Amino acid sequence: MFSDKRRQFLRQAATAGIACSANSFLSRFAFAQPPPNSGDVARIYVDSRRTIAPLDRNLFGSFLEHLGRAIYEGIYDPGSKLSDGAGFRKDVMEEVRQLGVPIIRYPGGNFVSGYNWIDGVGPKKDRTRVLDKAWNTIDTNQFGTNEFMAWSKIVGSRPLMGLNLGTGSAERAAALVEYCNIEKGTKWSELRRTHGIEQPHKVGHWCLGNEMDGPWQIGHMTATEYGMKAQDAARQMRAVDPSLTLIACGSSGPGMPTYLEWDREVLEQCYEYVDALSLHRYIGNTQEETGKDSTKFLAMNLSMEKQIAETLAVCDLVRGHKRSAKKLWLSFDEWNVWYRARNGDAMDGHEKEAPHLLEEVYNLEDALLVGGIVNTLMRNADRIKIACLAQLVNVIAPLVTNANGVLRQTIFYPYSWALQWARGNVLNVLVESPTYEVSEMGQVPYLDVAGTLNPEDGKLSLFVLNRDLNKAHTIEINWQDRTPGKVLSSSVLTGSDLKAFNSFEAPQRVAPQSADKPSTSGGRTNLELPARSYTAIQWSA
């Protein structure tokens, strides 16, 4: 079983002193925040002419892997009273459609590195049951590429297809592109047509493998070997369809001993053949990572900000070496909180179908950090064009199913607010916040702010995390060039118990509340943010 090896590997690496923990870098990292403000009132300055970049909606993508109950029982459950004729869970489709998830990575994850996509196409009665070695699970293959494309269309999402560069060859990867994207007249496009799909799926975005730096990965190889394989796959795939957007595998996290060196070596081989580099990150409120200190946990999105800056530095270093005109962007194609359902039976399918794997139960503090991560992604919108909340249903997910319905976990809310209200250009908001000391991170601002302004309708949205566990904070918003109109919506996620979570029995224990609608006068708005909260507020033009 390969995936359990990830945790084991990282633990051993740390003991041997070869893994660089994310935090060991933190004290040296100058956070992109203004000088500390020792007063109690925070001030933010918003100038609509000062923007970071247009926000790519794919920044709020998600991920579905053949893992546990994500596909089977999550989105596909032909035996369920809640499913349609194709076996798709209607309640889940409705949630995903309403969320408006723009792009979904599929079919893995670790799973993809041993997956033969041919097992999952063609008449269902002929598809075989296969033992997936990544999660030690039986995959019936009743759901495959064409089912995913059909489901994506219904929920209004585009696919971000993962390719097997572990056991799979570059030739097989190009064959999948041909199967998906060529209309007719070639071996693989004709195979698709015999499977009853006349029109090509026209998949634009492709991941060249998954976490190939990880010794837990099926087919793990050295950076140079992977970089050469990625280059070969890219060339063959582009020969089939030159319009593709291709993402190479970067480091799977800053705890890897090969962190950044992997990225550099990979890009030395394939820089000119790809458009983007991936990065992944899972955060835990654990003894090792945060000392189980929630004040530090809520600051961990800033350590992701540092990871983004370091990964971009490597991309630009290789660009310099190659004297390339091309500037790569990043695909943060796996991110979330994940640390409880991360060992033992939660990681081992015991050769069963649809086992309960990685079923993390999310609490209030996880949701607050997810809000902070959403802010971090927005602030880096100039170089991150895709990011995927990992994952979408049942497996480390905002949505959980049982036989009778679907539950919204706490992390659903900050993610859904970004999808709903973050539109247009990301604002370069100047924040002056009081700070607090965090071990290995130095002074961290209590308030974490991101904002967007939609030039089409003039709507302006702000997203604010208050990391203070004990105190409400007031922010004075200074509108520098234009004052907004009226408050259209104002929601807050907060509560007295950071460890509170939702369940099918108590689905509303952690749910959004409507917040005060502050008034604006003299070019200023005062906004009160409760302790332990994440707030989203939108104004009209």
CB 371 to ligand AHR: min, Å:
20
Q: Which residue has the tokens 């170089």?
A: 383
Q: Pick the stretch among 105-113, 119-127, 258-266, 431-439 that binds ligand AHR (CB under 6 A).
A: 105-113
CA-to-CA separations, 174 to 114, 208, 210, 231, 236, in angstroms, rounded: 16, 11, 16, 12, 6
By CB under 6 A, name the one of 68, 108, 159, 227 that touches ligand AHR. 108
Coil, strand, or helix at residue 264? helix
Q: Pick the stretch among 48-56, 104-112, 188-196, 380-388 that binds ligand AHR (CB under 6 A).
A: 104-112
Torsion of CA 53, 57, 60, 64, to 10 degrees: -140
By CB under 6 A, name the one of 210, 331, 410, 502 that touches ligand AHR. 210
Residue 17: exposure state from Cβ atoms within 10 A (0-12, 13-18, ≥19): exposed
**Residue 435: both structure tokens together:** 């700070």
CB 334 to ligand AHR: min, Å:
5
CB 382 to ligand AHR: min, Å:
26
Annotated catalytic residues are 211, 334
Alpha carbons 28 and 24: distance in angstroms, whole number: 8
Q: Pick the stretch among 88-96, 108-116, 168-176, 230-238 that binds ligand AHR (CB under 6 A).
A: 108-116
CB 323 to ligand AHR: min, Å:
33
Question: Is-contact 400 499, C-beta < 8 A?
Answer: no
Does 109 participate in binding ligand AHR (rule CB under 6 A)? yes
Question: Is-contact 349 135, C-beta < 8 A?
Answer: yes
By CB under 6 A, name the one of 110, 152, 269, 533 that touches ligand AHR. 110
List the beta bridge partners of residue 489: 538
By CB under 6 A, name the one of 2, 4, 5, 6 that touches ligand AHR. 6
Residue number of the CB closest to ligand AHR reads 109
Alpha carbons 439 and 344: distance in angstroms, whole number: 30
Does 255 participate in binding ligand AHR (rule CB under 6 A)? no
Does 289 participate in binding ligand AHR (rule CB under 6 A)? no
Alpha carbons 375 and 396: distance in angstroms, whole number: 20
- Dump the DSSP string for 52-74: EEEPPGGGGEEE--SSTTSTBTT
Torsional sign, CA 313, 319, 320, 325 = negative
Q: Which of residues 136-195 bind ligand AHR (CB under 6 A)?
A: none
Does 360 participate in binding ligand AHR (rule CB under 6 A)? no
Q: Which of residues 381-400 bind ligand AHR (CB under 6 A)?
A: 390-391
CB 211 to ligand AHR: min, Å:
5
Alpha carbons 310 and 260: distance in angstroms, whole number: 8
CB 217 to ligand AHR: min, Å:
8
Binding site for ligand AHR (CB under 6 A): 6, 65, 108-110, 210-211, 334, 390-391
